[in-house]
Amino acid sequence: MPHVITQACCGDASCVYACPVNCIHPTPDEPDFGIAEMLYIDPSTCVDCGACVSACPVGAIVPGHRLPETAARFADVNAGHYGEPATDEARFPVRAEWRLPMAPITKPARLGGAAPGELRVAIVGSGPSAMYAADELLKHREVKVSVFERLSQPFGLARFGVAPDHESTRSVANLFDEIARHPNITIALNTEIGRDITLDELRRTHHAVLWAGGAPTDRPLAIPGVDLEGVQSATSVVGWYNGHPDFAYSAPDLGTERAVVIGNGNVALDVARIFTADPERLATTSIDQTALAALRGSSIREVVVVARRGPEHAAFTLPELIGLADGPAHVWVDPSELVGVDPDAIDDPTVAAKVSLLHEISQREKPTEPFIRLSFGYTPLEVVGDGRATGVKFVKTGTDQESVIDAGLVLTAVGYRGRAVPGLPFDEAKGTVAHVEGRIVEAGEPIAGLYVTGWIKRGPSGFIGTNKTDSGETVKHLLADAEAGVLPHPGSAAVPV
């Protein structure tokens, strides 16, 4: 039986390169790679060799015969992704042109005649995009990488953003640990750029500086009442239960029976799952112990995750919905909110599968245990309350029908946002550093020796592994600039490497 990719798929595409028969799609060269919610194994071409299993950094690939019951749905998701008929031509219309060389062997580039370790690259941040960039750079013995991390522990969102019950996904830290053990990399912890060392100092001492500082703030939700007590961002809760030092004082008030989460991306699902999980199960994870103690005393019985658009536009991904539906969580959808949304009328197979699963969930008994209610089509108008939140007023999207959901805790989960970096050109509209394919630009011109990657480059979207391709693009340009001799020399902006 062929192999199957499951929920933890991080999208870093290591499996694609390891596969000897090119049966994993979309590949980074295929157009839907950037928007795919996971990668898929084509069972009709998989030869069951297991090369992908060894390559996957998060243990997301399982031989079909060992697929646990809770992941059984992924066999169909993999097989059905490209639909019938199952010919290559039908599934991958221009596949022959896109086909990657199998297990490509690239000749190590010699960088502009530099000696081993001579090309010094500073990376700011140590999250997934930083570590994937370091990994690419360290393939060249001429490069020495210095990573600068503000916190006392490395790996950013891989440590402080991934939910504690997503243990497979968290295991990507093992890959980053391995990268960090390379002899040509150092990681300076507790080191903040602008406080402990300036950007100018970094530029003076390195040939290139690669900014990988992420998108550390939340998108604001501009409705009345968001400043009331009992309202906070979902990301502050994520930081709190993951022991992020910035969020040690962000404990949510769990002494209420209902919480409302505004927005239905994967962050919303993460928080809703943790709030309704059995604390005994959470106790077996890496959850912060203070958070665990608070969750043990929680009064929350229902978390309502509210989207302003319909189920066909849900921001959560199919793998996460499957994990919710078939895992230990209790989840429910009011069938009346799905009326008229027909999965068979939806072309996109991922969206159709999501809607179909939502219908299935809506046919379940409404849970009696603490549960998650997925709600669709309500635009938030204001958080109501007098000093403290007591609920959220919504309008049914596209109508003037208003209603209030009572809740003592309101979480905004409307996405992350990048923060301007002093000294780097910033695109306020996008919340990203201005760049062209990773080269930081001012007035359209690249600034020699300055690069960017990750969420502060492309915006807060995608999964941990998405950063591999993103950082690969930035590093490719950095190395091309080294090769072309246009990187500034440390100590003198004019002398090339």
Cα–Cα distance for residue pair 252/239, rounded to 1 Å: 11
> Which one of 19-27, 284-292, 302-310, 402-410 is the stretch in contact with ligand NAP (CB under 6 A)?
302-310
**Least separation in angstroms between CB 171 and ligand NAP:** 14
> Which one of 276-284, 301-309, 351-359, 438-446 is the stretch in contact with ligand NAP (CB under 6 A)?
301-309
Q: Which is nearer to ligand NAP, 207 or 354 (CB)?
A: 354
308-367 residues in contact with ligand NAP (CB under 6 A) are 308-309, 313, 315, 317, 320
Contacts with ligand NAP, 237-276, as mask; x by CB under 6 A:
-------------------------xxxxxxx-x------
Contacts with ligand NAP, 19-58, as mask; x by CB under 6 A:
----------------------------------------
* Residue nearest to ligand NAP as judged by C-beta position: 265
Q: Which pair of structure tokens corresponds to residue 96? A: 């022959």
**Least separation in angstroms between CB 185 and ligand NAP:** 26
Contacts with ligand NAP, 429-468, as mask; x by CB under 6 A:
-------------------------------xxxx-----
Cα–Cα distance for residue pair 127/468, rounded to 1 Å: 11
Asked if 263 and 412 touch (Cβ cutoff 8 Å), the reply is yes
**Least separation in angstroms between CB 204 and ligand NAP:** 35
**Least separation in angstroms between CB 314 and ligand NAP:** 7
Q: Which is nearer to ligand NAP, 264 or 432 (CB)?
A: 264
Cα–Cα distance for residue pair 158/274, rounded to 1 Å: 17
Strand partners, 230: none
Neighbours of 219 (CB within 10 A): 17
Strand partners, 379: 395
Using CB under 6 A, which of 240, 376, 416, 451 touches ligand NAP?
Answer: 416
The size of the chain, in residues, is 497
User: Across the chain, how many H-helices and E-strands are there?
Assistant: 18, 24
Could you tell me which residues come within 8 angstroms of residue 77 by beta carbon, excluding any fewer than 6 positions away?
A: 38, 40, 318, 319, 322, 353
**Least separation in angstroms between CB 217 and ligand NAP:** 12
376 forms part of the interface with ligand NAP (CB under 6 A): no
Distances, alpha carbon 5 to alpha carbons 73, 152, 165, in Å:
11, 34, 19
**Least separation in angstroms between CB 319 and ligand NAP:** 7
Q: How many residues bind ligand NAP (CB under 6 A)?
A: 25
> Which one of 28-36, 178-186, 240-248, 408-416 is the stretch in contact with ligand NAP (CB under 6 A)?
408-416
Asked if 147 and 186 touch (Cβ cutoff 8 Å), the reply is yes
Asked if 26 and 90 touch (Cβ cutoff 8 Å), the reply is no
**Least separation in angstroms between CB 350 and ligand NAP:** 13
Strand partners, 210: 123, 451
Strands 378-386 and 371-376: unpaired
> Comparing C-alpha atoms, which of 144, 180, 380, 371 is closest to residue 258?
371
Q: Which is nearer to ligand NAP, 28 or 446 (CB)?
A: 28
Asked if 422 and 439 touch (Cβ cutoff 8 Å), the reply is no
Q: Which pair of structure tokens corresponds to residue 482? A: 């080294």
Using CB under 6 A, which of 415, 472, 488, 490 touches ligand NAP?
Answer: 415
Cα–Cα distance for residue pair 283/292, rounded to 1 Å: 7
Which residues contact ligand NAP (rule: CB under 6 A)? Answer: 221, 262-268, 270, 307-309, 313, 315, 317, 320, 380, 413-416, 460-463
